[in-house]
């Protein structure tokens, strides 16, 4: 049994450790122990044995050999960046939120790479759909850092949250020579981490244009698996041709590349038009439609589908199309003639057709086309008009119409599903989710992530009071919520709209509220070691509010920041209760034996309190640990209390 409580890990999930654990579950025999340079035994992977486990028995591979794949300068650093945990936090911002205490929707302001790392513990495998509209790499809008070692620090300086050298996120111009490389290094780690968040039946949709569509497809093939390419949807963004190009070619369309996490994913499909099913001959089998009887195979491919169909009443013979044949075999067609399921034409030059009955359809849905109908999804002009009408001005360039994203929300998700957009822009995805919830009485949740990219000082948005793109997105969501609520005011509520989640929590990326222990080099001077020890006597930022601490603990303990937080009383002491008592958090400066006993009796999954609450009383801490050990004795691991301090 442990004699001391666990220390809460202050970092996000270690992706490489998680991947090794999953590999060990599948292939435990490939793990072995080897000595490192210091002579210490460390666990390692026998890659030759792993190849054998996967059916490849080729012995040792040469250090250099040709292989199919995609590589670029910086890819190794991008992989290292994925595996570098974040010790940042997300600070709550009540004054910018709507229905903060009850909503499960999130708007997170910050660098999306750091945010994706922080979401790994709490949202791993829980997101049903991701939609992103990333920078298209046109050389104008690329604003993410290309420094692998300073991501959080660069962001904090960029956002003005700490003093520094005034580091800036920069645009990516074609004359740099690393034009595509910088874009790939930006996208690769974000897509890798995003895949972790998807459910096994989850789907990601990514908008892109001609500049990077081929590179995006190849890195998605690597991350998601080529076999999981769900489809490449074509969206006509422009109603009229653009004649400004010297080539006289108008780039009117964009692509939406879609991948599933696995084979469990599927779209709803399109409803079959049942209006065409009629019953003009009063057939007792009900409404029917005339269906093409021709097939898709040549005589060489399917000779059994190439035969003449003879009308038994007229004796007229109808040969098959030599390139297509029929869709049914001769025996099936003979049976269908006998059952009155073949419609013969009045003219000898016509073609026999099938009489298909509505009540015999296997499904009322058909496949979903990758060609998106502009009448349904709209154009860029619709998106621009939509934002302008909502917030009163043209403050955002080329937003997607919410109808476009709403179509994918409708096709890929159901009520209660989580939708993520980590390039949120003007928050079109949040708009689409709220609208779709109204349409089908759903209760989907959204997570928006947006960098606080400054609006140009000479822009209409800045003059209207919007300092950043994130400000525009937040205001748009507020306006959509207000509009939906006003539309509902004069209507009879039958229990639908009142239960919709029309709110959002604003969280902002910032450095941790807890001082992080720095790894010290072996030759570190004693006075430096002493200084760090004294700094950690009180390792909590004195400016941090209890709510700041609460949200950081929630995230790093693996609970969603959208979880409902209540305050309960144990032995007359207020304690935070999360997930219906699954997690209890106590953030006051003094803890008592009576409170420890009450918590143990309540039996949460986890109990977390401040280390300084024990006031240096090691005996009290040891007694607390013994109390939880006694409570856990004989219980299954899932029913034991995990006691941690921060």
If asked whether residues 124 and 207 sit together in one domain, one would say: yes
- When mean pLDDT is compared over 170-184, 217-231, 505-519, the highest value belongs to 217-231
Q: Considering the chain, what percentage of its residues have pLDDT values greater than 90? A: 53
How would residue 133 be classed by pLDDT, with cut points 50, 70 and 90? very high
Of 316, 332, 362, the residue at which a domain comes to its end is: 362
If asked whether residues 358 and 373 sit together in one domain, one would say: no
Question: Is 517 part of a structural domain of the chain?
Answer: no
Parallel, antiparallel, or unpaired for β 31-35 and 6-7? Answer: unpaired
How would residue 349 be classed by pLDDT, with cut points 50, 70 and 90? confident
Of 82, 103, 128, the residue at which a domain comes to its end is: 82
Total structural domains in the chain? 4
How would residue 62 be classed by pLDDT, with cut points 50, 70 and 90? very low
pLDDT (tens digit per residue) in 287-297:
999 999 999 99
If asked whether residues 537 and 639 sit together in one domain, one would say: yes
Question: Is 342 part of a structural domain of the chain?
Answer: yes
Is the separation of the CB atoms in 259 and 224 below 8 Å?
A: yes
Q: How far is CA 47 from the centre of its chain?
A: 31
For 269, the token pair is 């499909």
Q: Span 591-596, mean pLDDT?
A: 95
Whether the per-residue pLDDT at 9 is higher than 60: the answer is yes
Domain that holds residue 31: 12-82
Parallel, antiparallel, or unpaired for β 606-609 and 583-586? Answer: parallel
How would residue 148 be classed by pLDDT, with cut points 50, 70 and 90? low
How would residue 534 be classed by pLDDT, with cut points 50, 70 and 90? low
What value does the mean pLDDT of the chain take?
86
Is the separation of the CB atoms in 266 and 363 below 8 Å?
A: no
Question: Is 88 part of a structural domain of the chain?
Answer: no
If asked whether residues 396 and 259 sit together in one domain, one would say: yes
If asked whether residues 143 and 27 sit together in one domain, one would say: no
Residue with tokens 């919007």: 466
Of 337, 362, 387, the residue at which a domain comes to its end is: 362
Task: For the full predicted model, state whether its pTM sits above 0.85.
Answer: no
Question: Is 155 part of a structural domain of the chain?
Answer: yes
If asked whether residues 391 and 411 sit together in one domain, one would say: yes
If asked whether residues 451 and 490 sit together in one domain, one would say: yes
Question: Is 518 part of a structural domain of the chain?
Answer: no
Degrees to nearest 5, angle at CA 30 with 25 and 35: 120
How would residue 14 be classed by pLDDT, with cut points 50, 70 and 90? confident
If asked whether residues 149 and 284 sit together in one domain, one would say: no
If asked whether residues 109 and 178 sit together in one domain, one would say: yes
For 263, the token pair is 């084979």
Whether the per-residue pLDDT at 305 is higher than 80: the answer is yes
If asked whether residues 27 and 61 sit together in one domain, one would say: yes
Residue 544, φ and ψ in degrees, nearest 5: -70, 135
- Tell me the C-alpha distance between 134 and 293, whole Å: 45
If asked whether residues 639 and 546 sit together in one domain, one would say: yes
CB-based contacts of 231: which residues, under 8 Å, 6+ apart? 258, 370
Complete DSSP assignment for 163-186: -SS--------GGGS-HHHHHHHH
pLDDT value at position 203? 97
If asked whether residues 454 and 593 sit together in one domain, one would say: no
Parallel, antiparallel, or unpaired for β 6-7 and 41-45? Answer: unpaired
pLDDT value at position 546? 92
């Amino acid at each position: 049994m442990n004699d001391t409580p666990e220390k809460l890990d202050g970092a996000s999930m270690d992706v490489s450790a998680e991947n090794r654990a999953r590999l060990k579950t599948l292939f435990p025999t490939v793990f072995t122990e080897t000595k490192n340079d210091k002579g210490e035994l460390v666990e390692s992977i026998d890659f030759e044995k792993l190849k054998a486990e996967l059916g490849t028995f080729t012995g040792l591979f040469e250090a250099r050999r040709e292989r199919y794949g995609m590589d670029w300068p910086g890819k190794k650093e991008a992989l290292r960046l994925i595996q570098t945990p974040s010790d940042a936090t997300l600070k709550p911002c009540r004054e910018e939120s709507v229905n903060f205490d009850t909503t499960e929707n999130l708007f997170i302001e910050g660098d999306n790479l750091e945010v994706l790392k922080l979401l790994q513990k709490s949202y791993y495998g829980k997101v049903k759909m991701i939609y992103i509209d990333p920078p298209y790499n046109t050389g104008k809008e690329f604003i993410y850092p290309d420094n692998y070692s300073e991501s959080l620090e660069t962001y904090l300086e960029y956002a003005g949250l700490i003093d520094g050298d005034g580091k800036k996120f920069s645009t990516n111009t074609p004359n740099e020579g690393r034009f595509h490389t910088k874009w790939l290094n930006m996208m690769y780690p974000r897509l890798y981490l995003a895949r972790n968040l998807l459910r096994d039946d989850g789907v990601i949709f990514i908008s892109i244009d001609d500049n990077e569509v081929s590179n995006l497809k190849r890195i998605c093939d690597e991350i998601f698996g080529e076999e999981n390419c769900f489809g490449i949807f074509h969206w006509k963004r422009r109603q009229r041709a653009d004649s400004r190009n010297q080539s006289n070619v108008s780039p009117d369309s964009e692509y939406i590349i879609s991948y599933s996490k696995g084979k469990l994913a599927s779209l709803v499909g399109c409803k079959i038009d049942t209006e065409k099913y009629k019953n003009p001959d009063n057939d007792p089998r009900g409404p029917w439609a005339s269906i093409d009887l021709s097939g898709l195979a040549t005589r060489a491919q399917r000779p059994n589908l190439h035969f003449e169909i003879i009308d038994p009443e007229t004796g007229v013979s109808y040969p098959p199309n030599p390139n297509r044949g029929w869709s049914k075999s001769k025996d099936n067609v003979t049976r269908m003639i006998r059952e009155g399921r073949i419609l013969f034409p009045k003219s000898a030059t016509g073609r026999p057709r099938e009489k298909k009955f509505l009540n015999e359809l296997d499904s009322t849905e058909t496949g979903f086309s990758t060609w998106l109908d502009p009448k349904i999804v709209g154009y860029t002009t619709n998106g621009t008009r939509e934002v302008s009408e909502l917030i009163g001005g043209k403050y955002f360039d080329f937003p997607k119409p919410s109808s476009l994203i709403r179509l994918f929300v409708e096709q890929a998700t159901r009520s209660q599903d989580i939708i993520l957009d980590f390039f949120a822009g003007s928050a079109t995805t949040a708009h689409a989710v709220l609208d779709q919830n109204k349409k089908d009485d759903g209760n989907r949740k959204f997570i928006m992530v947006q960098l606080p990219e400054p609006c140009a000082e000479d822009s209409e948005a800045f003059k209207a009071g919007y300092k950043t793109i994130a400000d525009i997105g937040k205001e748009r969501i507020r306006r959509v919520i207000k509009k939906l609520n006003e539309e509902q005011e004069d209507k009879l509520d039958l229990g639908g709209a009142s239960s919709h989640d029309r709110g959002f929590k604003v969280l902002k990326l910032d450095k941790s509220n807890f001082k992080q222990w720095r790894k010290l080099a072996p030759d570190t001077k004693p006075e430096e070691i002493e200084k760090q020890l004294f700094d950690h006597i009180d390792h909590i930022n004195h400016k941090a509010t209890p709510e700041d601490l609460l949200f950081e603990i929630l995230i790093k303990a693996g609970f969603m920041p959208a979880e409902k937080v209540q305050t309960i009383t144990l032995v007359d002491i207020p304690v935070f209760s999360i997930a219906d008592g699954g997690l209890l958090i106590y953030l006051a400066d003094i803890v008592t034996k009576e409170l420890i006993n009450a918590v143990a009796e309540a039996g949460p999954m986890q109990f977390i309190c401040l280390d300084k609450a024990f006031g240096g009383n090691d005996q009290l801490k040891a007694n607390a640990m013994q109390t939880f050990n006694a409570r856990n004795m004989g219980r299954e691991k899932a029913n034991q209390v995990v006691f941690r301090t921060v």
